[in-house]
Amino acid sequence: MASGVAAATAVLVGALLVGDSVRESLRRQTLERLGEIDEVLVTDRFFRAELVDELAASDEFRRYFDQASPAILFPHGTVEAKIETGTSRSSSVLIVGCDESFWGFGGRASEDRVRPKQLPGEDEIVVNKALADDLNTTTGSEITIRLPSGNQVPADSPLANKTDRIRSIPGLEVVDVIPARGLGRFSLRSSQSVPLVAFVSIATLQDALDQEGKINSILTSVNFNSSSRSAKAEAMSRAASTSLAIAFRPAFEDYGLSVKRVTRAFENAEGKTETIYDYFTITSDRMIIAPEAEAAARVAFEPLRGQGVMTYLANTIGKEQSPHPSPLPEGEGEERGPISYSMVSGIDVSDEFRLLDLEGLPIGALAEDEIVLNRWSAEDQSLKVGDTVRVAYFEPETTHGKAQEASAEFAVKAITPLTAPSQPYRRRRPAEYDEPPTLANDPDLTPEVEGVTDQDTIRNWDAPFLVDYDLVRSQDDDYWGNHRTTPKAFVSLATAERLWGSRFGRVTSFRIPSTQDTTEESLKQAFLDEVASSGESLGLSFIPVKRQQLAASAGTTPFDGLFLGLSFFIIAAALLLVLLLFRLGVEQRADEVGTLLAVGLRRKKASRLLVAEGGLVAAVGGIVGVVVGVGYAWLMLAGLRTWWVGAITTPFLEFHWTTKSLAIGYVAGVVVSVLTIMWSFRRMKNISVRRLLAGDATAADDVLYKSQRWLTITSVVVVVIAIGLAVVAVGLGGMAQAAAFLGSGALLLTGLLLLIWTRLKSGGGRGDDTFAGGWALTNLALRNAARNPGRSVTTIGLMATASFLIVGLSSFRLAPSDAGAGGFDLVAQSSQAIFEDLNTQAGRQELLADQANVLAGGLAFAFRFKPGDDASCNNLYRSSQPRVISIGSQFVQHFDPADVERFRWMKTEARSAEEKQNPWRLLAKQEDEHIPVIIDMNTAMYSLKPPVSVGSKFTLTYDDNNSVSFHVVGLLENSVLQGSLLIDERAFEKTFEEVSGYRYFLIQSPPGKSHEVTELLEDRLSDQGFDAMQTSQVLEQLFAVQNTYLSTFQTLGALGLLLGTFGLAAVQTRNVLERRGELALLRATGFRRRRLARMVMLENALLLISGLATGTIAAALAVLPHKFTGEASIPTELLRDLSLMLLAVLVVGLVSSIVSVRASLRVPVLAALRGE
């Protein structure tokens, strides 16, 4: 009996220790990959490296921190190496630009401390082992890294350069390959997968990116033990975060802003200097001031009468519809046609900016459809006040990098004078005037755009958009020579914001009038004060990365619970053993109990004595169980590192234990066993003292068969319901169908067991000639099984339930299906954004040139991609910031036709027929601040904490404390999109305005060209780190997790079943002992030993086979329709494995029944016949 208790306790302890081990392994992995790094600042903009020293010098910082180091981090670099067979490439490589101080963050323990033998110098690189293996490279070889090229105009702006966004750093020599542990697996993402990391010097990156003296990250470590689990450490960590936020004081320039005083004065003929304008302009190195900075600037500068300016490029201004000029014969004056490539400023009329008309009268505020032209423009286009003018411009946001032209018409409200210079602009020298310039003579209303505003002629523009040089007339170039970026027209700021404002911002500069007290410094301070008081970080904030990742290491899956569930049958079988063995023990000592009762002990007291005795045995068994449990956990972990590694993706688990788990396992094991013992004793209370004294502790052995009409009816009803449910299930889909089939199978199982029960209860219901016509021994064995129907049905039930679950669960096994991939054969991700539309011929031409036709007849949808945690089953960490993918209208419309292959949905909020036909439409239905989101059900159920379902609303905090609220409108079923949140593209752009371009792709290759398309795209888009995979392969990887859990369950279930067979052997042995008189009689009547053995063996086999068959038949109902509908395929190997598993159980069961057979042969015939 102690062995039974030990088995139960071992399983409990083992499961709890597996949970401990997973949590502690994840935790240690977190501590290992972060070393001493506690808080980090990573941003996509560059700031002064001195900021690190300034931070480190702050008292507030030194209170809790002891180190701050500069770094340049790129989480999505691409690395290439030349190898013998060509070029090997790794994408999504973390590129770390660091100095020696970085390695100071290595773990305190010397075994964790990893640092390169040689720090990378100029043109040198250190890679971790994982990257070296992936690239198939080693020390001494040369590799190339490719990175995004740093601060730029947001790439989705038409004025941004799309082609020069990647910097390559070739010829880097690998000076060391460090092991992928400690800082060698440094990563800011919570994942158990080994990251690919490359380390270079900060200077190498600064040179390559033209960011001298600048960095984009700061790493810090606290001066206390932040890895401690204590509440005090947690509180200190939070206090440290607050302190760090106070200590961190970026300068004005660190926000990418600059301030400049703009003045224009004119010395008139009398030698008197007249100030035309004098103001400070605040601009951004990204051309447009980001919305958060704009909000701070407005508050900071409004008291100083500052005003926002939005200057935008007008492709044409004119009254004519034809955009193209009609050239006149040479030397015959100016060309006709609209004005090309002009600046138009949106600025409100104010006391500080009041344009005058040609009469010298101030121009009033402009209505939305009004425009002020400068004289040059009006004359050029022969426009006068009241005329309508048409302004053509690029839409402020591009889709797939294509600038779309739009236009607006305005009424000319006034014409403002513009003075022509006497000397035009020259390189490094402004224009000179003989006549006094006007307020409109202000090129500084336009922000600087490298390659455009600094060029001498329009024709020299290195423009990010396609300049139509046919539009550029000679007088346009003349204007550029005389006035450069001076606006040719003015509209109200509101109009400019409406037409040209975007998610990247609504103003290009702030214009603050110069006063006596205003200085560049005072303006900077005013801005910084506002930033500090508003609490906005403007993209520069620290993330408590260690605290977050330690919280995430609590894991997505409670492994202890999972393994308790997986070990259910072992526990049940162990308890059954406890029950049987204790009862056998008690029954053997029935005469002792009888004696105790006969001498006057109360039954309660007698039972307490026995229970106490059992408890004592259980206590000892429990101790053995704890020891065995440790071994069991170790074995489970070994399994997870090897056979079941699919469940956890990488073999990283190590054995860890806690006293708490040992104690809980021990107490739970012993208590459950004692309860089982008490329950088993309960059955003895109805046995008379006389019988107990005679050593008989079994229920009366007379068998009375009764009609079981009601039970028969019930069982038939249950079977009918089961079949009904199976019919209903055919109409259901996916998981619901599998669950319904399983439910129907479970009902069928119940029905079958009830039928067996009624049949046994009625003694088989056979006529008088039972033994005629062969099978006599089998019939006799069957009758023997019917002798104690309760015992037999319990045995059959245990076997049946176990085999039912083991077989039935295979219906939940997943195989990649078209519905999981929505009809797409490839899924791809790129390290850098791609702007071209692969669904258009032009886009294909641009990216694939002469190979564009390879994609002909295929589809390639691109998605914006906000990097984040992989919230799929592949990641064991809890994901707090899941990655987000935008769903564009093109993709949604793709699913409108009825005949298109589509994703399978688990549940949606679709109400209308259109929505039901295409639930992707739900994404566009945003009703409040919650963004409609579609999630794969696995992400919704297992990765998000708490789990969400359709209708759930939840809020996540993305970097820079950006809270985003979501509303789940649909759940995809087992899709390739698992691990991400899917939202509408417009909502995405608003929420993650910093994300430009497209990095995620779903591709439907032309039939049979999957491989060719993969090779082509990976080759042509190698700079962008394009990495494509077959959707079936991705699905297989995702499903491997669930499938492996099922394998684990099935294996552990089978183990439990095997343990159950030993219980069965014990039951049979008891049966044999109880019936020894009968067996002796059979011997006396001429039964040979062999025949008797065969009979007992047959009895065992009957119970075993009935159990396994009943369970398998019921499970077949759950599995087979599923297979026939083709919605889940059960691989032949699985069927083979299941059959082998059940066969093994049968064989072990039969072998273990030899015990009872031997017992039957050892029955002393004479003694038994005499009733001794």
Partner 1 sequence: MPELVVNNLAKEYATRGEPLVVLRDVSLELSAGENVAILGPSGCGKSTLLHILGTLDEPTSGSATLQDQNPFELNEPQLAEFRNRNIGFIFQDHHLLPQLSVLENVLVPALADGSPSQEEIDRARELIERVGLSDRSDHRPAELSGGEKQRVAAARALIHKPVLLLADEPTGSLDRTNAQAMTKLLLDLQKQEKTMLMVVTHSMELASQMNKRLELGDGRLAAK
* Triad 163, 168, 171: Cα angle to 5°: 155
Binding string, residues 745-784; x marks residues near partner 1 by CB under 8 A:
------------------x---xxxxxxxxxxx--x--xx
State the nearest-atom distance from the C-beta of 1085 to partner 1, in Å: 4
Q: Of residues 469, 643, 679, 705, which one binds partner 1 by CB under 8 A?
A: 705
Q: Measured from the CB atom, is 109 or 772 closer to partner 1?
A: 772
**Residues 6+ away with beta carbon under 8 Å from 84:** none
The tokens for 879 are: 């994901």
Site string for partner 1, 310-349 (x = CB under 8 A): ----------------------------------------
Cα–Cα distance, 871 to 939 (Å, whole number):
6
- How far apart are CB 782 and partner 1 at their closest, in Å? 9
CB of 1094 to partner 1, least distance (A): 11
Under DSSP, the state recorded for 853 is G
702 binds partner 1 (CB under 8 A): yes
The candidate with the shortest Cα–Cα distance to 33, out of 85, 96, 92, is 96
Least Å distance between CB 1162 and partner 1? 14
Whether the Cβ atoms of residue 1021 and residue 860 lie closer than 8 Å to each other: no
Tell whether residue 1165 is a contact of partner 1 (CB under 8 A): yes
**Which residues between 55 and 114 bind partner 1 (CB under 8 A)?**
none
597 CB neighbour count, 10 Å cutoff: 19
Give the residue with the Cβ less far from partner 1, 223 or 779: 779
Site track for partner 1 across 1062-1081, x = CB under 8 A? ---------------xx-xx
Length of the chain: 1172
Least distance in angstroms from the C-beta of 1160 to partner 1: 14
Distances (CA, A) of 66 to 52, 115, 160, 249, 250: 12, 20, 41, 17, 19
Of residues 727 and 1166, the one with the C-beta less far from partner 1: 1166
| Nearest in space to 864 (alpha carbons), one of 841, 831, 887 | 887
CA dihedral 197, 201, 203, 206 (to 10 degrees): 0
Q: How many helices (H) and strands (E) does the chain have?
A: 36, 28
Which of 675/1169 has CB closer to partner 1?
A: 1169
CB-based burial, 650-662: b 16+ in 10 Å, e otherwise? eebbebbbeeebb
Residue 643 vs 775, nearer CB to partner 1:
775
CB of 757 to partner 1, least distance (A): 15
Q: Of the two residues 668 and 1079, which places its CB atom closer to partner 1 in the complex?
A: 1079
Whichever of 485 and 708 has its CB closer to partner 1, that residue is 708
Q: Which is nearer to partner 1, 104 or 764 (CB)?
A: 764
Q: Classify 604 as helix, strand or coil.
A: helix
**Strand duo 214-222 + 65-83: pairing:** antiparallel
Site pattern 1081..1120 for partner 1 (x: CB under 8 A)? xxxxxxxxxxx-----------------------------
Give the shortest CB-703-to-partner 1 separation in angstroms.
4
Of the pair 84, 1172, the CB lying nearest partner 1 is at: 1172
Give the nearer residue to partner 1 in terms of CB position, either 391 or 786.
786
- Token pair, residue 1165, equals 């015939």
Sole window of 156-164, 316-324, 572-580, 1161-1169 interacting with partner 1 (rule: CB under 8 A): 1161-1169
Binding mask 657-696 for partner 1 (x = CB under 8 A): ----------------------------------------
- CB of 1098: closest distance to partner 1 in angstroms? 12
Please report whether residue 703 would count as binding partner 1 according to CB under 8 A: yes
The pair of three-digit structure tokens given for residue 153, joined into one six-digit string: 């105009």
Maximum Cα–Cα distance across the chain = 147
> Taking the complex as a whole, how short is the minimal distance between the CB of residue 1100 and partner 1, in angstroms?
16
- x/- track of binding to partner 1 for residues 780-809 (CB under 8 A): x--xx-xx----------------------
Beta strands, E only, 285-321? 307-318
Q: Is 701 in the site for partner 1 (CB under 8 A)?
A: yes
- Answer whether 1129's CB lies under 8 Å from 1123's CB: yes
C-beta of 429 vs 706, nearer to partner 1: 706
Near partner 1 in 839-868, by CB under 8 A: none
Question: Which of 396-404, 497-505, 701-709, 1059-1067 is the region at the interface with partner 1 (rule: CB under 8 A)?
Answer: 701-709
Q: Which is nearer to partner 1, 715 or 784 (CB)?
A: 784
State in angstroms the smallest separation of the CB of 691 from partner 1.
Answer: 15
- Of 1091 and 1158, the one with the shorter C-beta distance to partner 1 is 1091
Q: Which is nearer to partner 1, 117 or 1158 (CB)?
A: 1158
State the CB neighbour count (10 A cutoff) for residue 57: 11
Q: Find the shortest distance in angstroms from Cβ 22 to partner 1.
A: 52
Size, binding site for partner 1 by CB under 8 A: 41
> What is the distance between the alpha carbons of residues 479 and 727, in angstroms, rounded to a whole number?
80
CB closer to partner 1, 603 vs 787: 787
Residue where the block lists tokens 């309508």? 388
Instruction: State how far the Cα of 216 lies from the Cα of 236, in Å rounded to an integer.
Output: 27
Output the smallest distance, CB 1108 to partner 1, in A. Answer: 23
Residue 794 burial (C-beta neighbours within 10 Å; 0-12, 13-18, 19+): buried
Burial class (CB in 10 A: 0-12, 13-18, 19+), 122: exposed
Compute the CA torsion angle 307, 312, 316, 317 (nearest 10 deg).
0
Report residue 310 as tokens. Answer: 């939005």
Q: How far is the C-alpha of 425 from the C-alpha of 904, rounded, in Å?
A: 64
> Which of these segments, 384-392, 1035-1043, 1062-1070, 1163-1171, binds partner 1 (CB under 8 A)?
1163-1171
**Contacts by residues 853-857 (CB-CB < 8 Å, ≥ 24 positions apart):** 854/1006, 854/1009, 854/1012, 854/1013, 854/1016, 855/1005, 855/1006, 855/1013, 856/1006, 857/1006, 857/1007
Using CB under 8 A as the criterion, which residues of the chain lie in contact with partner 1 when the complex forms? 701-705, 763, 767-777, 780, 783-784, 786-787, 1077-1078, 1080-1091, 1165-1166, 1169-1171
